[in-house]
Structure 1
Amino acid sequence: MTRIHIARFNIGQVVRHRDDAFRGVIMDVDAGYDGPASDTGDLSADQPFYRVYAMGEDGGFVAYAAEGVLEHDDSRLTRADEKRWFTVDADGHHAPLDMRLH
């Protein structure tokens, strides 16, 4: 039987890693991990995985993270972060400056 997963996070939503490894914005979502099982470690590959544009001290980077390690971040990005890294639509969703919002 095929399992259907509903993604908990939306494209353009601000999230953070549960271990505070990074804070960023969802750019894309996959229904599950399709790579080698050894790459996911203790995490189940049978959950949504997200491409997250993470903001770091030295610049931005793209992280690929399982839904189980992400949490909603209800704090707002600073105006400086928004201007430095993102375009923002009328609903408050963010996209990296060099990418369009979906």
Structure 2
Amino acid sequence: MTQVHTARFAIGQIVRHRDDAFRGVVMDVDAAYDGPAVETGGVAADQPFYRVFALGEDGGFVAYAAEMVLEDGQSELLDDDARRWFTVDADGHHAPLDERLH
């Protein structure tokens, strides 16, 4: 029997990597790891994985991260970053200016 996982984070939600590797906005969610089998880095593949438009020192990039390494990052997004990289809808969900959300 297949186990069904409920994603903890929603598209448009701000998240932060628990090791402070990045913070950004969820762009897409996979129910489980959807990549080459050898590249999970020891992280369990049977959990939600997120494509995150992340903010780095040199600008934005897309990261693919397991749910277990992400935390709610609502308070971590700076106003300058929000204006520079995202649009915000009436519900407070963020979308990267140069990426379409699924």
**What TM-score does the superposition give when structure 1 sets the normalisation length?**
0.92
- Secondary structure of 1:65's counterpart equals strand
C-alpha separation in 1, matches of 2:70 and 2:76: 16
- Secondary structure of 2:75's counterpart equals coil
Q: Is the 8 A contact 1:94 1:101 kept in 2?
A: no
**Unaligned runs of at least 5 residues, structure 2:** none
Q: Is the 8 A contact 2:23 2:76 kept in 1?
A: no
C-alpha separation in 1, matches of 2:35 and 2:89: 33
1:64 and 2:64 equivalent?
Answer: yes
**Unaligned runs of at least 5 residues, structure 1:** none
In structure 2, what is the equivalent of residue 11 of structure 1?
11
Q: Is the 8 A contact 2:24 2:77 kept in 1?
A: no
Identity of aligned residues (%): 75
Count of aligned pairs = 102
After superposing the two structures, state which structure 1 stretch, 86-95 or 76-85, moved more: 76-85
Per-residue deviation, 1:76: 5.2
Structure 1 residue runs of 4+, over 6 Å off? none
